[in-house]
Amino acid sequence: MTKGLVLLSILSLFVFSCTKTNVAVPKKTQLQVRQFQTRTYDTKNTKMVMKALFNVLQDDGFIVKNAVVDLGLLTAEKEVDIESSGVKFFALFFMGANASWEKSLILEATANVSEFGEQTKVRMNFQAKVLDNAGRVLSVEQVQDEKFYQDFFSKVDKGIFIEKERI
């Protein structure tokens, strides 16, 4: 009887620790999202800005999938393994061949680079897609974390400086 209670306690601890809690976070407006996704640079050279973006994305482990300089379009993606051996073990143990668990995260990036008078405007959009062990899409969400974009644009700022100085 005590072994059964201990096993039940361990199992419930595992199940409840793996569930996600939904905290009510106020949804950002389209204008708020656009503001932190956009940065303006004091240069008219959109090609140089695109080159800096290209380099920053590659430095961050992204594979650039498409670049159209005339349209100011740049797309890239990065795959990250998020598989947890503990979750995989329990999924296989309890579900067998039908087991499913989070396997990888694909971070997709899209850049829109456009001339804006004497400046260049860059709007970045990141989307996170979670896949299971069979390659099925579990979730797709737009990245709406301001700090994420601030950190990214900080790297772009440095990349543009490097491009301008031809380092």
Mean pLDDT of the chain: 83
Tens digits of per-residue pLDDT, 68-114? 999 999 999 999 988 777 777 677 767 777 777 788 999 999 999 99
| Ramachandran class of 131: left when φ > 0, alpha when ψ lies in -120 to 50, beta otherwise | beta
Tens digits of per-residue pLDDT, 116-136? 999 999 999 999 999 988 888
Q: For the ranges 39-43, 84-88, 155-159, which has the lowest average pLDDT?
A: 84-88
The angle formed by the CA atoms of residues 38, 44 and 45, to the nearest 5 degrees, is 95
Given a contact cutoff of 8 angstroms between Cβ atoms, the answer to whether 64 and 57 are in contact is yes
